[in-house]
Amino acid sequence: MPIIRCSDCQLDLSVLEDLTNGEPWQPCPNCGSMNRALSVSDALTVRILELVGTTQRRDGVKKWIRKTLQGMRQDRNGRVVTIERVMDREADYYRELVVYEDDGSIEVDKTHPLTEHYKHHGRVSNRASDEWVRG
């Protein structure tokens, strides 16, 4: 079970957030930071894996216009992947790249219109998340 902390103020957010659902998270309740550090421990090693998400909004518009997620995480088999994801409503753009750190093999490499993504996966909040972290 990874321990999730705010990268900036070190507040433990493990109970508040589930980064495994693929949803970009809320700002840190303490300092407002969107940066997170994940501590993943196993029998031999402790690694710090960082995922950094951004959400862009525009004044007066309720919905976000662009979200990004970038960093490293461990899949359920313990392999470390680097993740790069961009969702851009205005440009109608969806990009996802997931690469295994150990041998450089590509797990996911997708670029398509964001509207296509919604068509296939429904809202980002449900099953799409499993797919992009599939291990």
| Secondary structure letter of residue 48 according to DSSP | E
99 and 110 in contact (C-beta within 8 Å)? no
- Please tell me the distance from the alpha carbon of residue 51 to that of residue 29, in angstroms, as a whole number: 17
What residues make contact with Zn ion under the rule CB under 5 A?
6, 8-9, 11, 28, 30-31, 33
Q: Which lies closer to Zn ion via its Cβ, residue 5 or residue 67?
A: 5
Least Å distance, CB 30 to Zn ion, is: 4
Q: Which lies closer to Zn ion via its Cβ, residue 52 or residue 99?
A: 52
Least Å distance, CB 11 to Zn ion, is: 5
Least Å distance, CB 14 to Zn ion, is: 13
The pair phi, psi for residue 129, each rounded to 5°, is -65, -40
- Please tell me the distance from the alpha carbon of residue 97 to that of residue 131, in angstroms, as a whole number: 12
Q: Which lies closer to Zn ion via its Cβ, residue 5 or residue 117?
A: 5
Determine what percent of the chain falls in helix, strand and coil, rounding each to the nearest 5.
10, 40, 45
Least Å distance, CB 16 to Zn ion, is: 11
Q: Which lies closer to Zn ion via its Cβ, residue 17 or residue 131?
A: 17
